[in-house]
Amino acid sequence: MLLDAGNLRAMAIGCSILGAGGGGDTSVGLLASLQAVEEFGPVRVVDLDELDDDALVMPCGGIGAPLIWIEKIDRGDEIPRIIPIVERIHGKPVAALMSAEIGGSNGLSPVVWCARSGRPLVDADGMGRAFPEVPQVTMEVAGVSPNPAVMTDERGNVIIFDGIDGHWMERMERAAAVEFGGQAYSSEYQMTVAQAKTATARGTVSLAIRIGEAVLAAPRDPVASLVETLGATVLIEGKIVDVERRITGGFVRGSAAIEGLGPQAGRILRLEIQNENLIALEDGEVRASVPDIITVCDTQTATAIHTERLRYGQRVTVIAFACDPIWRTPAGLELAGPRAFGYDLDYVPVEAIWRGGTSAPA
Amino acid sequence: MPPLDLRLGIDVGGTNTDAVVLDPNDRLLARAKVPTTPDVTTGIARAIASAVEPLEVDRRRITHAMLGTTHATNAVLERRRLHRVAVLRLGAPATFAVRPLFGWPEDLRAAVSAGEAIVEGGIEFDGREIVPLAADDVSRFAASVAGRAQAVAISSVFAPVSADHELAARDLVRKELGDVHVSLSHEIGSIGLLERENATVLNAALAGVAQDVARAFRSALRACDLDPVTYFAQNDGTLMDLEYALRFPVLTIGSGPANSIRGAVHLTGMSDAIVVDVGGTSTDVGVVVRGFPRESSTGVEIGGIKTNFRMPDLVTIALGGGTIVRSGSEGVTVGPDSVGYRLSEEGLVFGGSTPTLTDAAVAAGRLELGNHAIPAGLRALLDAALARAEAALADAVDRVKTSREPRPLIAVGGGSALVPDSLPGVSDIRRPEHFDVANAIGAAIASVSGEVDRIFNLGPGGRAAAVDEAVSEARDRAVAAGASPATVEIVELEEIPLTYLINPAVRIRAKAAGPLDT
């Protein structure tokens, strides 16, 4: 499969939906990737099965504040410049780049870097959604080392980190990103293809495109088409009646209430938010929870609405769908289950809560 | 400036151009409504003539004339009479991933661009330089567009934090190109480089249009033997004088809805309400907060280009008095097309053959208009169409609200009979006198404002001192623009603390407004 002007718009829609309300706006990333394929040609997407088991996969992404990235847009060659450094450290060529996070803007940025470096993009990523922190990736769950992390800025400064664990990697990289002007670009958790086969969320690039194409192909009812493509559960269709939100330490926290409309009148769904939509509650019962993906879509257009853009009166359909199976393992839940975000409740997969369809919980 | 006596307000809408004359006590002395013409200017001249003609007092008592016009919007949509703009971005080595004007419609870019460059410079979020400004590159670029560029648009990364690089680049450009129009992004938009840059380029491209409009306005006034001071309505519901309008023509885009909202405030005396303005083709639903239009927090698209300068926060639906009603295979359809100003020929109640929402309102007894009976066979269709229109209105009204608390609503515009007597979530519906020329009245009574939006580094006085400084600067600007010092007041004050800074700083946005000094 090739990424070009014909399917990047669809991919951007898909990355937004997979962002679970977070991951940053995809509009700058879409423009950047469209410009990159126009200037450097289309990008090849490869499945891990097409690569040699001992070939090197390089995850990459941006780290910093989304607000800064919409102002100080990247140069475009940040990650391509650090590829030779990663190759020197590992003593072998980088066979392909991989998005560290498919959800939101980080899903699209690697398209720019692949176009410029002539590398293919792996049809996988490190989350299958969006999460706020560097170590909240499937590679961490699978025991891949984050070291060495290589970080750069638009000027050409490079830092190589060797952390004792993923938590320290997050702290060190965030601090350096502030010094670089609030935004930087990095690679962690480089691995062989053999490791990547079990340590990543696979097929997520093609999933993002399928999601977007399903939405674009059904202008009359894009939400229904989206739900069918994802096998998602509709948690509620209604209108936002309350948003409570505060920004602390650069993170968005709060909650939103959605009141059912039409046949669902009388129902109220409440979303708990920390950058992403984490928990959906109704009548005190959990209807879906992290690490499953909960996305608020515009009922008419199916566009994903980011948590910082939720507003009273919006007509929305809230959907939930299964996360990558890695997140449902004990190690995965320890890193990114409800308790990792401070909610004292046991995780139940969304399809188990809603067994038997989308009309009522089992 | 002459003492304020009579005022002439003109507002150009999609269907009609309206004009009113008000006396010093804001009483309506004359009003006119004429069809908007394709060139806009002819319609303005006719509206002025029709409003002034029946005046029983000496027309030379008109000391002030205020115009809200769609010239700028039309120029962008039609790609006509736009200046060629040299587009300069200060942001290298960053920002190359999306070049200036990337994603613009090709014909608009061809009509506007006289060359684009990204040179080294720009600011970090904390006020430091990304890299020093490459002054030689700025001069070289300016020299390279000499003779081709009629205007220059300069946008620096994080210009809203510090305008230093934009101001330095402007001086370098002026040295090369002389007294050319220069638009600076920090004066036009907010955070979001690409949207702010787009708005800045549009502003520069509209500099010539602004001059044309100013000239046409003057000559239309002279043709009626008038010689008032002229003002332009801007999109925040206040006025700008000629000099300011020539510098910021892009701010006239969106002035129509802002005028309607100000007019609705004036006609009802209510300063917090929902305002529904039903025209011939479309309906704008907005919100007035403390007497001024609530502004949009997200970007707006103009002619296919994303921008982020401040605009009234509106929900616009294709629904007006001239909206065409049809019955099709899937039942009744309402619009989105309209007979526009031809309503008085084509509508059923006027003896025409096109069913419209005005006919539906007459059939339902909401309105008395025309002299032709509506065929009984069409009654069911019209009733169904009116129900559809009401549901769409109710939905639009709910969308502009920020909470479920019931709010009062003011219905204005020529088609406001379409607004029913009750709507969900609305406590009270007001239909003021002269509702159909509320927009022109809004232009005539609009006040003058002054605004400050910049980063203040906190000194020994802390936050309070910074706020005081911003507030008094905004007041001074409003007074300098012609507001009465005794009545000018702060209508908006917003503080946004900046994090991650070594020295604490805060972004303060303050706006002062007051009526014209008499």
In this structure, are residues B173 and B152 in contact, taking their beta carbons and an 8 Å threshold? yes
Question: What residues of B are in the A interface, CB distance below 8 Å?
Answer: 91, 93-99, 102-103, 122, 124-126, 128, 130-131, 157-158, 191-194, 298, 306, 398-404, 499-500
Least-confidence region, from A262-271, A314-323, B183-192: B183-192
What's the rounded Cα separation, in Å, for the pair B111 and B305? 14
What's the rounded Cα separation, in Å, for the pair B155 and B192? 11
CATH for A2-204 (3.50.50.60, 3.40.1610.10, 3.30.70.260, 3.30.70.20)? 3.40.1610.10
Length of chain B: 518
What's the rounded Cα separation, in Å, for the pair A329 and A282? 26
- Report which listed range, A23-32, A86-95, B311-320, is most confident: A86-95
Residues A191-222 pLDDT 10s: 999 999 999 999 999 999 999 999 999 988 99
Identify any residues that bridge with B293 across adjacent strands, giving them in sequence order.
B288
pLDDT at residue A5 is higher than 90: yes
Q: CB-based contacts of B176: which residues, under 8 Å, 6+ apart? A: B139, B142, B143, B146
What's the rounded Cα separation, in Å, for the pair B48 and B71? 17
Residue A190 is which amino acid?
Q
In this structure, are residues B325 and B334 in contact, taking their beta carbons and an 8 Å threshold? yes
Q: Calculate mean pLDDT across residues A34-52.
A: 98
In this structure, are residues B16 and B5 in contact, taking their beta carbons and an 8 Å threshold? no
pLDDT at residue B481 is higher than 80: no
What residues does each domain of chain A span? 2-204, 220-353
Least-confidence region, from A240-254, B331-345, B381-395, B497-511: B497-511
Size of interface A-B (CB pairs under 8 A): 90
The whole-number pLDDT of residue A40 equals: 98
Pick among B89, B95, B96, B98 to test the A interface (most A CBs inside 10 A): B98
More confident residue, A348 or B493: A348
The whole-number pLDDT of residue B501 equals: 47
- In the CATH hierarchy, which top-level class contains the domain B1-82+207-253? alpha beta
Residues B279-310 pLDDT 10s: 888 899 999 988 888 887 677 888 888 888 77
Q: Calculate mean pLDDT across residues B112-126.
A: 95
- In the CATH hierarchy, which top-level class contains the domain A220-353? mainly beta
Mapped onto helix, strand or coil, the DSSP state of residue B340 is: helix
Neighbour tally for B430: CB within 10 Å = 17
In this structure, are residues B112 and B139 in contact, taking their beta carbons and an 8 Å threshold? no
Q: Give me the phi and psi of B231, to 5 degrees please.
A: -135, 155
Identify any residues that bridge with A43 across adjacent strands, giving them in sequence order.
A3
More confident residue, A1 or B516: A1
Which is it for strands B151-156 and B238-241: parallel, antiparallel or unpaired?
unpaired
Mapped onto helix, strand or coil, the DSSP state of residue B206 is: coil
| Percentage helix, strand, coil for chain B under 3-state DSSP, each rounded to 5 | 35, 30, 35
Cα separations in angstroms, A182 against A71, A74, A226, B191: 11, 12, 35, 15
In this structure, are residues B351 and B372 in contact, taking their beta carbons and an 8 Å threshold? yes
Dig out the tokens for A63 from the structure: 């780290």
Mapped onto helix, strand or coil, the DSSP state of residue B164 is: helix
Pick among A69, A71, A183, A261 to test the B interface (most B CBs inside 10 A): A71
Chain mean pLDDT for chain B: 89
Render the burial of B412-429: b for 16+ CB within 10 Å, e for the rest: bbbbbbbbbeebebbeeb
Which residue spans of chain B are classified as CATH 3.40.50? 83-205
What's the rounded Cα separation, in Å, for the pair B97 and B156? 15
User: Contact B402/A311, CB-based, under 8 Å?
Assistant: yes
pLDDT at residue B495 is higher than 80: no
DSSP string, B55-93: -SS-GGGEEEEEEE--HHHHHHHHT-SPPPEEEEEEEET
Of A71, A76, A241, which has the smallest distance from its Cβ to B192's Cβ? A71
What's the rounded Cα separation, in Å, for the pair B162 and B401? 35
Q: Residues B390, B395, B396, B398: is their CA dihedral positive or negative?
A: positive
What's the rounded Cα separation, in Å, for the pair B346 and B352? 4
What's the rounded Cα separation, in Å, for the pair A168 and A179? 17
Mapped onto helix, strand or coil, the DSSP state of residue B283 is: strand
SS (H, E, C) chain A: CEECCCCHHHHHHHHHHHCCCCCCCCHHHHHHHHHHHHHHCCEEEECHHHCCCCCEEEEEEEEECHHHHCCCCCCCCHHHHHHHHHHHHHCCCEEEEEECCCCHHHHCHHHHHHHHHCCCEEEEECCCCCCCCCCCCHHHHCCCCCCCEEEECCCCCEEEECCCCHHHHHHHHHHHHHHCCCEEEEECCCEEHHHHHHHCEECHHHHHHHHHHHHHHCCCCHHHHHHHHHCCEEEEEEEEEEEEEEEECCEEEEEEEEEECHHHCCCEEEEEEECEEEEEEECCEEEEECCCEEEEEECCCCCECCHHHCCCCCEEEEEEECCCHHHHCHHHHHHHCHHHHCCCCCCCCHHHHCCCCCCCCC
Cα separations in angstroms, B354 against A138, B14, B283, B351, B505: 63, 20, 20, 9, 61
In this structure, are residues A79 and A105 in contact, taking their beta carbons and an 8 Å threshold? no
SS (H, E, C) B237-266: CEEEEHHHHHHCHHHHCCHHHHHHHHHHHH
Residue B35 is which amino acid?
P
Which residue spans of chain B are classified as CATH 3.30.420.40? 1-82+207-253
Render the burial of B143-172: b for 16+ CB within 10 Å, e for the rest: eebeeebbbbbbbbbbbbbbbbbbebbbeb
Pick among B104, B125, B162, B399 to test the A interface (most A CBs inside 10 A): B125
Banded pLDDT at B328 (limits 50, 70, 90): confident
Which is it for strands B113-120 and A121-125: parallel, antiparallel or unpaired?
unpaired
Q: How far is B76 from chain A (nearest CA, A)?
A: 22
What's the rounded Cα separation, in Å, for the pair B12 and B39? 11
Least-confidence region, from A2-11, A227-236, A320-329, B24-33: B24-33
The whole-number pLDDT of residue B503 equals: 53
More confident residue, B327 or A141: A141
Render the burial of B339-375: b for 16+ CB within 10 Å, e for the rest: bbbbbbebbbbbebebbbbbbbbbbbebbebbeeebe
Q: A-chain residues within 8 Å CB-CB of B95?
A: 72-75
C-alpha angle A250/A255/A256, rounded to 5°? 125
Return the CATH architecture of domain B83-205: 3-Layer(aba) Sandwich (3.40)
In this structure, are residues B361 and B418 in contact, taking their beta carbons and an 8 Å threshold? yes
pLDDT at residue A252 is higher than 80: no
Q: B-chain residues within 8 Å CB-CB of A154?
A: 93-94, 130
Minimal-distance CA residue of chain B relative to A5: B103
Chain B contact present for A178, CB below 8 A: yes
User: Contact B102/A34, CB-based, under 8 Å?
Assistant: yes
Q: Give me the phi and psi of B7, to 5 degrees please.
A: -120, 140
What's the rounded Cα separation, in Å, for the pair A151 and B66? 56
What's the rounded Cα separation, in Å, for the pair B371 and B477? 53
> In B165-209, at which residue ranges do the beta strands (DSSP E only) sit?
181-184
The whole-number pLDDT of residue B161 equals: 82
State the greatest distance between any 2 C-alpha atoms of chain B, in Å, as a whole number.
78
User: Contact A73/B95, CB-based, under 8 Å?
Assistant: yes
Render the burial of B3-15: b for 16+ CB within 10 Å, e for the rest: ebbbbbbbbbbbb
pLDDT at residue B403 is higher than 90: no
The whole-number pLDDT of residue A247 equals: 60
Q: Calculate mean pLDDT across residues B482-509.
A: 74
pLDDT at residue B133 is higher than 90: yes
Dig out the tokens for B458 from the structure: 């906190």
The whole-number pLDDT of residue B500 equals: 47
User: Contact B193/A71, CB-based, under 8 Å?
Assistant: yes
List the one residue out of A259, A137, A322 whose CA is nearest residue B404: A259
Q: Where are the alpha helices (DSSP H) in B282-432?
A: 343-346, 357-363, 379-400
Of A35, A74, A155, which has the smallest distance from its Cβ to B102's Cβ? A35
What's the rounded Cα separation, in Å, for the pair B386 and B358? 9
Give the rounded percent of residues in chain B with a pLDDT score beyond 90.
Answer: 56
Dig out the tokens for A242 from the structure: 């309350």
What's the rounded Cα separation, in Å, for the pair B434 and B263? 10
User: Contact B399/A178, CB-based, under 8 Å?
Assistant: no
The whole-number pLDDT of residue B506 equals: 73
Mapped onto helix, strand or coil, the DSSP state of residue B334 is: strand
Least-confidence region, from A236-250, B152-166, B188-202, B219-233: A236-250
The whole-number pLDDT of residue B402 equals: 78
List the one residue out of B473, B450, B467, B465 whose CA is nearest residue B507: B467
The whole-number pLDDT of residue B499 equals: 52
The whole-number pLDDT of residue B445 equals: 85
